Each structure stands twice: as structure tokens, then as C-alpha cells.
Amino acid sequence: MKNFADLTYRIYSKVKAKKPLIHHITNFVVMNDTANLTLALGASPVMAHAKEEVEDMTTLSDALVLNVGTLTKEWIESMILSAKIANKKGIPVILDPVGAGATSFRTEMSFQILESCRVSILRGNNGEISTLAGFKAHVKGVDSLQGADPMQVVRDAALKFNCVVVVTGKEDVVSDGKRTVVISNGHELLTTITGSGCMVTTAIAVVSAVHTDLLESAVSALSIFGIAAEIAATKAKGPGSFKVYLFDHIHKLSQKEIEHRIKIREI
Amino acid sequence: MKNFADLTYRIYSKVKAKKPLIHHITNFVVMNDTANLTLALGASPVMAHAKEEVEDMTTLSDALVLNVGTLTKEWIESMILSAKIANKKGIPVILDPVGAGATSFRTEMSFQILESCRVSILRGNNGEISTLAGFKAHVKGVDSLQGADPMQVVRDAALKFNCVVVVTGKEDVVSDGKRTVVISNGHELLTTITGSGCMVTTAIAVVSAVHTDLLESAVSALSIFGIAAEIAATKAKGPGSFKVYLFDHIHKLSQKEIEHRIKIREI
Amino acid sequence: MKNFADLTYRIYSKVKAKKPLIHHITNFVVMNDTANLTLALGASPVMAHAKEEVEDMTTLSDALVLNVGTLTKEWIESMILSAKIANKKGIPVILDPVGAGATSFRTEMSFQILESCRVSILRGNNGEISTLAGFKAHVKGVDSLQGADPMQVVRDAALKFNCVVVVTGKEDVVSDGKRTVVISNGHELLTTITGSGCMVTTAIAVVSAVHTDLLESAVSALSIFGIAAEIAATKAKGPGSFKVYLFDHIHKLSQKEIEHRIKIREI
């Protein structure tokens, strides 16, 4: 992955120049945080879920985030309507199957989305993706307690769903079925704030809206988010201040910070 | 606008003394932020949208905020029920047509509110208000990309809808159709956090709950919010810390800060 | 209440060791804050309200929070479904009757929950609990303006509903009908941020998930939250920074801080 730091910084700057619009149909817990993350990256967020307008909104957008936390059946219908427009328009669809494996409803709804449209990138924790890929897993609420080997999970899931798959955790792993990349940025404090997984999903959507290689998009988004978290953690006194610094630094990463801190390897 | 600094500080103090109750029927993204803004100003927020209780809640309240972000049809019905009570009771109704112009659903729903009840103050960005006033506009998601001359837009919209109209942007413009005022406070960092427009709408509602002249209410609320943003920006290291300082300073503006920083002109 | 500081610290540490899962069916305004509070305490939050999954989610959980802010009828059905599972499983159910007394809908819905299942702990402000206990009260939106003597209110409510009752305010009072305890920790800045009551309810749920004595659970949770607020207030410059420090300190209270600051008395 030579020069990946360069590529990441170029993409990071491209987001600020292009200001893509990211349509989210997402959960109530993280809407404010993911909107703020989109803005901090220099992109523009919109949240809309009414059946009457989701197709119009996706038509205006440059990427679509579907996140199944706090889901109901009505919302799933809107998600699938939007995803079909996104597919027709050729913009990336990023799916975050929050809590798949915890309840059969969330697992089934995640499968329903995967079957009804083309998902470009699937991002979850190891328990969620293991569940969807058919491995034994244990998801407690929205936290992964147990899953299979993440390297195998991402590859298998990528082949099964024919998309880029991201499993985040202590290390993040990305695969398109052929290439597999491990990102070792990030910080433990991310586990002390809600929505850090959902924010990563949004970051991936933002990047994929301006960069066509989906695997590279996922890897750079994970690097950017992880590096900002590392810098934030050097100043944070706890979860409250960590979150404040995370938004500050996501907004103003320097090329040098990315170069010095990026930790990715292809396996 | 001589002595407007004085008036603004008197109104700012009156909010703390009267603690008006502000009923919000608003979008999911900003509920927490607008509740916190209401409290930071010394007023009391309540969010309620169930058809079974909105009329009761508005009856208790001193102003009503209607915000069409993340709207569905059921919510519109509750908004109109509430607005009718507000009209009967004589408390101000503040409408924020988030994303009007982006989807026809949001445009139509905004018109439906404007036609079903008396709106006291309409607050949006230039694209949204231009759309409603019948000018050519381009709204991307919830951001204004293009609109007509804001001075003309506010005047025309004020006459068309027979209410006070506010267009916020790099400069904010307020008109009741006869008087038009420009407020030049605020800071660019406001564009890096979600809900800054919705928070302005809430600030206007809070002030209008304790001050009868609606144009003056809008102008003072914009000054208070903009001045707090300017002070917050002098300390902020990015969007995360900016938002923290914004709430800190909204809560404790001094008369001197208002006098030194207020920038309004009648045109 | 000798050695209550010790007990509180032991419980505080037990939460971090056991990481209980807390299922919330709560209001839109505070979802993010209560999820973050759960995490800051070292527990794990989940928000789920779809009828199709609430029973599954409660089955996985160690405590259930029901909070009637921003309620609709559909949500009440999910709350009662969940509460029945919680009762069957034997995990605590914590009810926060936000705004009971303000609208008859909220009052009735709170009663409906209290009649349909066994509530373990009921937490509200004086106006809300006075209303439910049958005293004269005045609730303006979600704020208590008037209620009866809190000492009498908690005792009567505890006997009436056969559960532990908490009335929070300048002082917090807890009773199971026999024992009554007053906690004098906390800080006025808590009234300047939204959801501080809801966060207290969540803290009580978190503690009750790892400690069987419900009165002790409520008292320790109130102490922990109040002490963190006091420490946060020593650094805060306003509501924005207060909230940041509150989360920082909730996460890392020391035994010494608890010992030095805890202020409880049995009456």
C-alpha cells in the first residue's frame, strides 16, 4: 500500500472541494453525530425517511447510508426505495447492519436490504458481519461479543454479497474478496462513545462519494477517522472531551499527521 | 436602529426572568441541540408530537416551533393541530421550512402549514425562502446553493405570507414587508455544525415568546446567537469545541459583549 | 447509611466489570445522551422500539428503561411488550414518566405502564411523581413548578405503586415505602442541559442491573451522577463545557472523590 498516505490526503482534500451530499436513513441515536461528522469532513448531510420524498432526496445525493439501528418496517421500505434510486443513479450505497445477530428482526431486515438492491460497502462489527456471512457469532445489543476470524469473515462476506466489506474492531479489516487490507489506527476511547461505528460508516460514505475505488475509499475513511481519534485521545480527559476533540481533528487533519500515523497493511 | 443593543440585552434578560415554555415539533437530527439552546437561553423546551397531546402541550406553551426536517405526513397533522391552538391562544408560531426546494414533499408541506394557520415568523436559508416566495432557487439537501437577492426575497415573502421573514446566511436579513434589517453577526464555523439554522429558529421563538414586536424579536435573537458564535469562534479549535463554547456563551452574554459586537443596519 | 461510600464505589466498579446491557425505549431528545451515559459508566446501551424486536432485545438485556418523553401510542405498546418480558426474566424495569401532569396523554400512558407490568423503580421530578401519586401538582412541559412535600410524595408513591420511587430536584429523595433516603449531591448547572433527569434514570437502570437492592441502587446511582456533576461544575464555563466534563468524570470517578463528596442521609 505504498503512497496510501498520499492518496488518503488527496481524497480528504477532494471531499472539501466537492462537498458531496450524503443522504442518511439512519437511527435516532446517532443522527446528530453522523450529520456533524459529515460536516466536519467538509461534506453535506441530509436525513430524510418519508416515503413521499426519499426518492427525490436520493436523486440529489452523492452517496446513500442505510443504517438499521432503531429500525421499523416503514423505514425499511424507505431504505429500499432509496437504494433502488441510488443503484439506478450509480451512487454508492453503504449499509450498516447495526445489531444484526442481536435480534432476528435486524438480521432479516439486513438480509432484505442486501437482497433488494446492490450494496456497495457493508460495514459492521465482527459479530454483525459474522452473522450475515453465516458464521457463528454473538451480538449483545449492538456490541460484538464473538465472531469468526475477521480476515476470513470479510473475505467470505465480500464474495457472498459481492461488495466491499468492512469489519471494524481493535483492528479494522477491509476486503473486496480479492484484496484484503488491515488498518491499525483508532483508539480505545472510541468504545466509550455511542455511534463511533455509525460515524465510521458515514465517513466511508463521504469518501466513496468522491472516489470510485470502493476498497480504497473504505481504507482511507478508516485511516482518517482512526488518525483523528488517535490525536483526539492524546488530549482527551474522558469520553466527553474525546468526542469534542474528535470532531475538531476530523475537520483539520494535515498531510503530515496522516503520513506519520497511517498504519495499513495488505495481507 | 439606535439603542438596539440595549433592547437586545433587555430582551435577553427578560427570557431568563420569564422562562417561557417553547413547544417544538421538529426534526430528529436537532432535537437535542435545540432543547439545549432553549435551556442555555434560560427558557424551557418541550418536544411533543403525538396527536393525542400536541394541543394540550401547545396550550401550556409560550411559543411554537414547527420544523419540517425529517418530516412525515403524521407529523404535519400534529403541526397543524398545534398551530391552530397557538393561533387561538395568540402565541407566536415560528416555521422552519428545512429543505423546502430540495424535495417537492418538503415544499408542499411547508405551503400546507403556511395555508392552514397564521405563521408569525418564517426562517430559512436563501434557497428555502426563495423557493417558497416563488423565486428560482437551488437547494441541495438542506443547503442553499442558489436563490434570489435576499433583500428582495425577505420583503416579497413577508408580503406574500403576511408575516416576518428571516433569511439567514453570511448576513442575515429580516423583514416584515415594510422594515428590513440586516444583521452581520455570526461566524463561518456555524456552517461546520449541524442544526445551526434550526438553533437560530429556536432562538427566535424563545425571544418572540417574551417580546411582542416580531421583527425586533427576530433581529435580537439573530444578534444574540451571532454574537455568541463570534465569541465561541475566538476560542474554538474546530467544530467540536466551537459547539461547546457556543452553548457556554449563549448562556452568559454580557451587556458589554452585545454592545461591542452587535452589527445591524436598517435598509 | 454508614459505609455507603464504600458500597457506591464497589457498585461503580462492578458496572465496569459486568458491562450490563441496558435496553432503552426512550425519547428522541435524549437518546444520544443516555446512550453515552450508559457507555461512560462502563455499561452497554441499546435502543430498540419496533414491535417485531423489542421482546428479543429485552431478553438479551440486564435492565429496561421506559421513558415517555416524545411518546406515541405505538411506542407504548412496545414498552408494555418489553416490560412483560423484563418481568418474566426478572430484570429491573425503570420508568421515567417525563411530562406526566403536563398533558393527560402522558399521565394516562404512565398509569397504563404502571398497571400493565411491575415497575421496579419510578423516577421523576416532584411535579410528575406528585401527579401520579395523586397530589396537587403543576408540570409545565417537562419541568416541575409545583408538587407536594417530596418526602411524603416518594413514600406515598412507593406504597401506592409498590416499587422504589425517586424524586429528583435540588435534593433527591428515594423511598421504598419503608426506608427514605435524601441525596444532596448534584449541581445547579444540571438544570441548564436537556436530559439530565433522563440521564439519572439511565444511571439508576445501569446500577440496578448489577445490584439487587433497588433502593441502594437508586441511591448510589444518584450519588455517582451528582458527584460527577459537582466535579464537572468546578471546571465548567457554562452548559456546553459542563456537559463535556460531566461525561469525562462519570467515566473515571475515584473512590476518594466518592468518599469526600457523598452526601446522603436516611430520614
pLDDT by residue for chain B (267 residues), tens only, comes to 568 999 999 999 999 999 999 999 999 999 999 999 999 999 999 999 999 999 999 999 999 999 999 999 999 999 999 999 999 999 999 999 999 999 999 999 999 999 999 999 999 999 999 999 999 998 888 888 888 999 999 999 999 999 999 999 999 999 999 999 999 999 999 999 999 999 999 999 999 999 999 999 999 999 999 999 999 999 999 999 999 999 999 999 999 999 999 999 999
Across the beta sheet with C63-67, the strand order is C44-47, C21-25, C63-67, C93-96, C121-125, C164-168, C172-175, C180-183, C264-266
The whole-number pLDDT of residue A178 equals: 97
The overall longest dimension of chain A from CA atoms, in Å, is: 47
Residue B91 CA to residue B93 CA, distance in Å, equals 7
- Strand C138-140 relative to strand C143-146: parallel, antiparallel, unpaired? antiparallel
The whole-number pLDDT of residue C228 equals: 98
Nearest to B45 among C194, C241, C244 (CB): C194
Inter-chain contact A239–C28, Cβ cutoff 8 Å?
no
Nearest to C218 by CA among C96, C99, C113: C96
Inter-chain contact C53–A29, Cβ cutoff 8 Å?
no
Inter-chain contact B191–A39, Cβ cutoff 8 Å?
yes
Mean pLDDT of C65-72: 96
Q: How far is B142 from chain A (nearest CA, A)?
A: 6
Nearest to A47 among B29, B191, B192 (CB): B29
Report whether B202 contacts B37 (CB < 8 A): yes
Interface chains of chain B (3 or more CB pairs under 8 Å): A, C
Query: What is the H or E stretch that residue A45 is in?
Result: strand A44-47
Nearest to A240 among C45, C60, C248 (CB): C248
Chain B residue numbers with beta carbons less than 8 Å from the beta carbon of C72 are 49-50, 52
Mutate to test the interface with A, among B142, B190, B198 (most CBs of A within 10 A): B142
How many structural domains is chain A composed of? 1
Give the SS3 label for residue A251.
coil
Report whether C206 contacts C44 (CB < 8 A): no
- Strand B264-266 relative to strand B63-67: parallel, antiparallel, unpaired? unpaired
Q: Residues A157-201: pLDDT tens digits?
A: 999 999 999 999 999 999 999 999 999 999 999 999 999 999 999
Nearest to B207 by CA among B178, B183, B243: B183
Nearest to A172 by CA among A241, A242, A113, A219: A219
Inter-chain contact B194–A39, Cβ cutoff 8 Å?
yes
Nearest to C181 by CA among C95, C253, C267: C267
Helix, strand, coil % in chain C, rounded to nearest 5? 55, 20, 30
Please, what sign has the CA dihedral across residues A119, A121, A122, A123?
negative
Measured in degrees and rounded to the nearest 5, phi and psi for residue B102 equal -80, -45
Chain B residue closest to C142 (CA)? B46
Q: Give the number of beta-carbon pairs within 8 Å between A and C.
A: 102
Chain A residue numbers with beta carbons less than 8 Å from the beta carbon of C234 are none
Mean pLDDT of C174-196: 98
Q: Residues B166-210: pLDDT tens digits?
A: 999 999 999 999 999 999 999 999 999 999 999 999 999 999 999
Inter-chain contact A39–B71, Cβ cutoff 8 Å?
no
N- to C-terminal Cα distance for chain B? 10
| Other CB atoms within 10 Å distance of the CB of residue A225 | 27
Residue B65 CA to residue B82 CA, distance in Å, equals 10
Measured in degrees and rounded to the nearest 5, phi and psi for residue A66 equal -115, 125
Nearest to B200 by CA among B47, B51, B74, B38: B38
- Strand C180-183 relative to strand C264-266: parallel, antiparallel, unpaired? antiparallel
Give the SS3 label for residue C212.
coil
Chain A residue closest to C61 (CA)? A141
Amino acid code (one letter) for C78? S
The whole-number pLDDT of residue B236 equals: 98
Q: Mind spelling out the 3-state secondary structure of chain B?
A: CCCHHHHHHHHHHHHHHHCCEEEEECCCCCHHHHHHHHHHCCCEEEECCCCCCHHHHHHHCCEEEEECCCCCHHHHHHHHHHHHHHHHHCCCEEEECCCECCEHHHHHHHHHHHHHCCCCEEEEEHHHHHHHHCCCCEEECCEEEECCCHHHHHHHHHHHHCCEEEEECCCEEEECCCCEEEECCCCHHHHHCCCHHHHHHHHHHHHHCCCCCHHHHHHHHHHHHHHHHHHHHHHCCCHHHHHHHHHHHHCCCCHHHHHHHCCEEEC
Residue C103 CA to residue C140 CA, distance in Å, equals 9
C239 touches chain B (CB under 8 A): yes
Residue B206 CA to residue C143 CA, distance in Å, equals 16
Say if residue C31's pLDDT is above 70: yes
A238 touches chain C (CB under 8 A): yes
A39 touches chain B (CB under 8 A): yes
The overall longest dimension of chain B from CA atoms, in Å, is: 47
* Ranges under pLDDT 50 in chain A: none
B68 touches chain A (CB under 8 A): no
Nearest to C12 by CA among C258, C188, C232, C201: C258
Measured in degrees and rounded to the nearest 5, phi and psi for residue A95 equal -110, 130
- Domain extent at residue C35: 4-266
Residue B229 CA to residue B243 CA, distance in Å, equals 9
Exposed/middle/buried for residue C73 (C-beta within 10 Å: 0-12, 13-18, 19+): exposed
Q: What is the DSSP letter of A70?
A: T
C214 touches chain B (CB under 8 A): no
- Strand A164-168 relative to strand A172-175: parallel, antiparallel, unpaired? antiparallel
- Strand A21-25 relative to strand A63-67: parallel, antiparallel, unpaired? parallel
Report whether A60 contacts A33 (CB < 8 A): no
B238 touches chain A (CB under 8 A): yes
The whole-number pLDDT of residue A3 equals: 87
Mean pLDDT, rounded, of chain C: 96
Chain A residue numbers with beta carbons less than 8 Å from the beta carbon of B107 are none
- Strand C21-25 relative to strand A180-183: parallel, antiparallel, unpaired? unpaired
Exposed/middle/buried for residue A237 (C-beta within 10 Å: 0-12, 13-18, 19+): middle
Mean pLDDT, rounded, of chain B: 96
The DSSP bridge partners found for residue C174 are C166, C181
Q: CATH no. for residue C33? A: 3.40.1190.20
C192 touches chain B (CB under 8 A): yes
